[in-house]
Structure 1
Amino acid sequence: MTKRHTLPITLQLLSLLNTLILVYAWSRSLLGRPLPLGNQQMTWWGLIYWTSATILLLGGPWLANRLALEPFDYLRMTTHLAAGWLGYQILLLVVPVWFQPANSGLVSGVAFGLIGGLCMDMPRNLGWGVRISWTFKSPVVWHKTNWFVGLLLLLASYGMVAIGWLWPVAFPWYLLISVIGILLLAVGYAWYLNHQ
């Protein structure tokens, strides 16, 4: 008999909000008024990609937990991914022009957001997360450092989408500064936690 988990209220609320925004987008398209993306409109393929990403983000941690060698809190990971994705969906409704295919920061931003959401709750392993000697020495240092880095990656990802549209010439510099800054902060924070 497997142990059943009840979904935390926060995850239920985030999932509901993500689903409602997705239903809103689909209903607009079905009524012949697709979401505007500046001078373009959300296509059917765009909706299919968006729906697939939502399902993957909300169901992926459960599947990863089933396949993982070491169990982890997949409900917490799902909550963080759902919160990050809700931020993207709200941005899509508030500033839809940023989500045009011509945005140079869109793919990088979404990828960084996904990586950040996964880092926040990933157990110690040999393939993912901030893997330095200080984080391997202690599970507490591993968790705190990766949670911090995941949050920074998620916040930087929103900036990538914005900068990629508003100031595309500066996007490569923003990306470089973000990566170097997050790496330096990660190493510094892990060192600090290890020497407390």
Structure 2
Amino acid sequence: MPATETLPDPRPRCGWCLNSAEELAYHDAEWGLPCHDDGTLFEFLILESFQAGLSWRTILRKREHFRRAFAGFDPQQVARFDDADQQRLLADAGIVRHRQKIAAAIQNARAFLRLQEETGSAAGYFWNFVDGRPVVGHRQTLADIPAVTPLAQTVAKDLKSRGFAFLGPTTIYAHLQATGVVNDHLVSCFRFAEVQAAAG
């Protein structure tokens, strides 16, 4: 974090979140919390597909603009985006202007709706891979956290077969971490126990 900013309290945290106020707030309130809401899951899929090759801090700083540009992350509305919407998004400096990622977001909205129809819910789909219980990493240091796992490879392969794009194993592992399917908070981090408790 900038030298002028200080932590809100002295509780131990995962080191990656200490670079900016946005990352700190996200870490303390959202990252790793078990998510069973399809709308939130879709939001993270969109944001994480745009994050590929960029820092998560960049995406967090553009998050509210992404929300406006992508119809509040409503997959029903995004699935109906047409060529005019794609041009609008390409001209929008508030988001990441990447033609392939924008096209993938619309494609993924349509695939997301099919996933819901075929499986009942996106939440049920993702949590079924872990029998409804988070995978607990028990990470001691940031170096212990992998970029990808066999679980992420399995999920990414299945999503690809269902028509999803720009969601490879590394991106999907970030998604599983963010939505609490995997608890990769360091065991020394105050959020480790909190997200464990939230899992029930």
- TM-score between the two structures when normalised by the length of structure 1: 0.28
Q: Which has the higher contact order (CA 8 A, sep 6+)?
A: 2
Q: Where is the helix percentage greater, Structure 1 or Structure 2?
A: 1
